[in-house]
Amino acid sequence: MTPEKFLARTLSAVCPGAYLAHKPGKAPPLPWFVYKRASGEEYYADNTNYARLPRFRVQLLFEENDTDLVEAFEAALSELGTWRLYDADYLDSEACLFHDYRLSLGLDNLKEANEREASDG
């Protein structure tokens, strides 16, 4: 399973999501999330690329302050790896709240998910 598929599958258990954006006029009712892979996932040591750590920007959009939704979404982010809330604001253009997260996918978490998928399949 790719890091993107792992992220989409895990977070979609909380609410629907999409890569980058929904087509204009095709977005589902709130809440939903969008994500993209962030650049700079390389970790250099000893003058070489030591490891690749998949990093993502994930935005959750929702209508009102829903603490249960946010708690469930952040629990799902924790299943994926380490994250931080980068920004939270109100989007006038969408008439909704949004939380902007930065996520570093845990490679052990991805490995475990791949092993579970292999044993189920």
Provide the pLDDT for residue 38: 87
Q: Quote the radius of gyration of the chain (alpha carbons, Å).
A: 15
Q: What is the DSSP string of 75-115?
A: HHHHHHEEEEEEEEEEETTTTEEEEEEEEEE-HHHHHHHHH
Looking at residue 42, its pLDDT comes to: 63
- Whether 32 has a pLDDT exceeding 80, the answer reads yes
> Global pTM?
0.85
CB-CB contact of 89 with 98 (8 Å): yes
pLDDT in tens, 36-69: 998 766 666 677 766 677 899 999 999 988 999 9
Sorted by where each starts, the structural domains of the chain and their CATH numbers stand as: 3-22+30-37+52-120 (3.30.1360)
